[in-house]
Chains A and B, each alone.
Chain A
Amino acid sequence: MAATQVLRSEWTKIRSVASTVWTLGLAVVVTIALGMLISALTKSQFSDMSRRDQLSFDPTFISFAGTSLGQLAMIVFGVLVVGNEYSSGMIRTSLAAVPRRGTFLFGKVAVATALALVVGMVTSFATFFLGQAMLGDLRASIGDPGVLRAVFGGGLYMTLIAMFSMGVAAMLRSPMLSLGILMPFFFLISNILGNVPATRKVGRFLPDQAGSRIMQVVTPVDDNVPYGPWGGLGIMALWVIAALVGGYAVLRHRDA
């Protein structure tokens, strides 16, 4: 009873602010546009690529190249959905209406996640088909082995990254602080950790690097990653659960 009320209320909240449309819209446009651009560039330069790169060429993964940037908009969406309650002070009014804080937080996360999932899936499939159209005769087909899993997984990846941001925002209770940590982390730090040989083994277990494994169809040459595509997504899901549990613990025990 109370849970459905929270869901309806959260849906009203999420659809009545402009930031929802902006952040999700940006996620869609950036992911698709960048994916198409990189796909087109790759096609035109394929003949110049080394033999090794040509052998491990993954048309599906190339079309998801825009995800690295598009995920940042998803992070902003996740952070704002939760963080705006704190920055506006609305959290007090909300919690006065729903004294059961777990119901409140998970109702909010559920609505935002459902929306992110829909947008993520649409983006993922659109990115795939439009990217393949750019690749011309290099393209993969949705029926090829592993491709449907990768495209579906791309939608899940976008959803999980938004959920992770919601958990972090609930822990930090401030949108500015959350964005200040998450944006550079996913844009820079994670990439650096993953490319420096000394930290590569650790970097692999970061949420974005583990999760993006699901979008690969062709395993790179000399690949020694200790988990498969679903294993990687599982690692990402563990990060998400940890963030949400942390956020719930903070909300439950701290003064609003």
Chain B
Amino acid sequence: MIEAVGLTKRYGDKTAVYNLSFQVRPGAVTGFLGPNGSGKSTTMRMILGLDNPTAGHVTIGGHPYRKLPNAARQVGALLDAKAVHGGRAARNHLLSLAQLSGIPARRVDEVLGVVGLQDVARRRSKGFSLGMGQRLGIAAALLGDPQVLLFDEPVNGLDPEGIHWVRNLMKALAAEGRTVFVSSHLMSEMALTADHLIVIGRGQLLADMSVTEFISANSADFARVRTPDSEPQLREKLTSALTEAGGHVLPEQDGALRVTGLPLPRISDIAHGADVRLWELSPHQASLEEAYMRMTQGAVDYRSTADQKAGLQQPLPPGAQPPMPVPGQGQPGWYAPPPPQQGGQPFAAPQGAPGQAPAGPYGAPAAPGTVPGGQPANPYAAQQAPQHLPQAPAAAPQTPQPPAAAAPPATAPAPASAPVTDPTKPEDAR
């Protein structure tokens, strides 16, 4: 059991952590989430007695860390995978740590086997990849067979097999009744690993609840409704009918409607009553990632901006097409451009194929806060603008409320058919 009360840490005039109070209970994996620079690592260091809080206190099992009897046997921690002397062999690194806490040497070979590093045990850790470093760090945390475990970004640099292994390891440790506290900025990872979430932003507590509570509290379910593209008046009709019935309707860029506040059968009934045919009526739930992004939107310290490439772009030869980004290539912050003109849609399949790309758990249809001020967050989209300049305004009459993207950013949708990568995601998450 880790308990923080009013934890505050200031470095000069910068407040890294402010008035943080939470409890981490045994028997569960508790995820510790926040954007880069939100104070996760500082909090971890304060828990371990490495940094002194400016105010407040944090205890493990009722004792401050520096007063814990034989701390290393009760608490294991992975803080930084790179924090090893590169010239020292993996086994010697662990052996020195084991001797520090009076742990027998054979335990070193045990944990080396547990993390799968037995074959490189006598190699210098200088040559280790980040993933191997993470495994070595996890081995160090497991050395004392502790009841309380802290992991700071344990899956960074691990391959899929390693991520899967860490996930299962955390769950297994928690199932044994241990207290497991894992920090991450990857919401998707926490969704699969954690039972409980503590979210901070700019050093302050944003949420402390179970994963399921977190999703339902932070995201609204919605329905996507699509009327025949050929008859725009049907959409107008349905919009007013739904609004009348108490629903909240928001047009999406590709002409679909996003409806909240009404259950699906009711939407169907209303459409039937208004004599409107539907091409699509699908339920959607915001993912954990979305809920997290919405929550931390205001608390992101480092946000990327569009790469203007001023002065670097070569003039295109006459008649040449500007390069089109291929969807799914994973360009930073890639978004599909707005439909160039009525009827002609760049990618995606609305004509005769109303089925949207399924909103999988993390292939989130919308990413909030991505298009501030309607400015395309994407250098490639910006590049295309000249090509579509005459048509771009023409896209406006297509939707009743023109630049929908500029509307509340929290709900500004990107065409769901395009794979969504998110610019607010920290760079090392990709």
Query: Are A92 and B80 in contact, with the CB atoms below 8 A?
Result: yes
Query: Are A18 and B50 in contact, with the CB atoms below 8 A?
Result: no
Interface string of A144-188 (1 = CB under 8 A from B): 000000000000000000000000000000000000000000000
Query: Are A16 and B83 in contact, with the CB atoms below 8 A?
Result: no
Of A1-9, A42-50, A71-79, A222-230, the one contacting chain B is A1-9
CB-CB nearest in chain B for A93? B83
CB neighbours (8 Å) of A114 from chain B are none
In the complex the two chains form, what is the Cα distance from A90 to B72 in whole Å? Answer: 15
How many A-B Cβ pairs are below 8 Å?
92
CB-CB nearest in chain A for B105? A12
Interface string of B52-71 (1 = CB under 8 A from A): 10000000000001111001
B266 adjacent to chain A (CB < 8 Å): no
A199 adjacent to chain B (CB < 8 Å): no
Query: Are B83 and A12 in contact, with the CB atoms below 8 A?
Result: no
A13 adjacent to chain B (CB < 8 Å): yes
Known A96-B77, A256-B50, A256-B51; judge A89-B82 contact (CB<8 A): yes
A219 adjacent to chain B (CB < 8 Å): no
Q: Which of B71, B86, B87, B99 contacts A96 (CB 8 A)?
A: B71
A contacts with B: majority SS: helix
CB-CB nearest in chain B for A7? B99
A53-109 with Cβ < 8 A to chain B: 84, 88-90, 92-100
Query: Are A97 and B101 in contact, with the CB atoms below 8 A?
Result: yes
In the complex the two chains form, what is the Cα distance from A57 to B83 in whole Å? Answer: 53
The smallest beta-carbon distance between A173 and chain B, in angstroms, is: 13
B95-118 with Cβ < 8 A to chain A: 95-102
In the complex the two chains form, what is the Cα distance from A16 to B86 in whole Å? Answer: 11
In the complex the two chains form, what is the Cα distance from A5 to B51 in whole Å? Answer: 24
In the complex the two chains form, what is the Cα distance from A97 to B97 in whole Å? Answer: 7
Chain B, interface residues (CB within 8 Å), range: 35 or more
Query: Are B65 and A89 in contact, with the CB atoms below 8 A?
Result: no
In the complex the two chains form, what is the Cα distance from A84 to B87 in whole Å? Answer: 10
Query: Are A16 and B75 in contact, with the CB atoms below 8 A?
Result: no
CB-CB nearest in chain A for B71? A99
A255 adjacent to chain B (CB < 8 Å): yes
The smallest beta-carbon distance between B90 and chain A, in angstroms, is: 10
CB neighbours (8 Å) of A94 from chain B are 97, 100
Query: Are B50 and A16 in contact, with the CB atoms below 8 A?
Result: no
Q: Which of A90, A97, A255 contacts B83 (CB 8 A)?
A: A90
Q: Which of B65, B102, B140 contacts A99 (CB 8 A)?
A: B65
B388 adjacent to chain A (CB < 8 Å): no
B45 adjacent to chain A (CB < 8 Å): yes
Q: Which of B51, B93, B100 contacts A97 (CB 8 A)?
A: B100
B92 adjacent to chain A (CB < 8 Å): yes
A195 adjacent to chain B (CB < 8 Å): no
In the complex the two chains form, what is the Cα distance from A98 to B50 in whole Å? Answer: 11
In the complex the two chains form, what is the Cα distance from A238 to B11 in whole Å? Answer: 34
B131 adjacent to chain A (CB < 8 Å): no
Q: Which of B77, B83, B88, B100 contacts A89 (CB 8 A)?
A: B83
Interface string of A13-48 (1 = CB under 8 A from B): 100111100000000000000000000000000000
B48 adjacent to chain A (CB < 8 Å): yes
CB neighbours (8 Å) of A9 from chain B are 96-100
Q: Which of A12, A89, A90, A256 contacts B99 (CB 8 A)?
A: A12
CB-CB nearest in chain A for B47? A96
Known A8-B99, A17-B88, A93-B140; judge A99-B66 contact (CB<8 A): yes
Known A16-B88, A84-B85, A93-B140; judge A256-B45 contact (CB<8 A): yes
CB neighbours (8 Å) of B97 from chain A are 9, 93-94, 97
Query: Are B96 and A16 in contact, with the CB atoms below 8 A?
Result: yes
Query: Are B100 and A6 in contact, with the CB atoms below 8 A?
Result: yes
CB-based closest 9 A-B pairs: A89-B83, A16-B92, A9-B99, A255-B51, A99-B66, A256-B50, A9-B100, A97-B72, A12-B96
Kindly list 13 other residue pairs between chains A and B, CB separation below 8 angstroms, not including A94-B97, A95-B49: A9-B97, A12-B95, A12-B96, A18-B87, A88-B86, A93-B77, A96-B71, A96-B72, A96-B77, A96-B79, A98-B72, A99-B66, A99-B67
Q: List 18 A-B contacts (CB under 8 A).
A: A12-B96, A12-B99, A16-B96, A18-B87, A84-B85, A88-B82, A89-B79, A89-B83, A89-B84, A92-B80, A92-B83, A93-B77, A93-B84, A94-B97, A95-B50, A96-B79, A255-B50, A255-B51
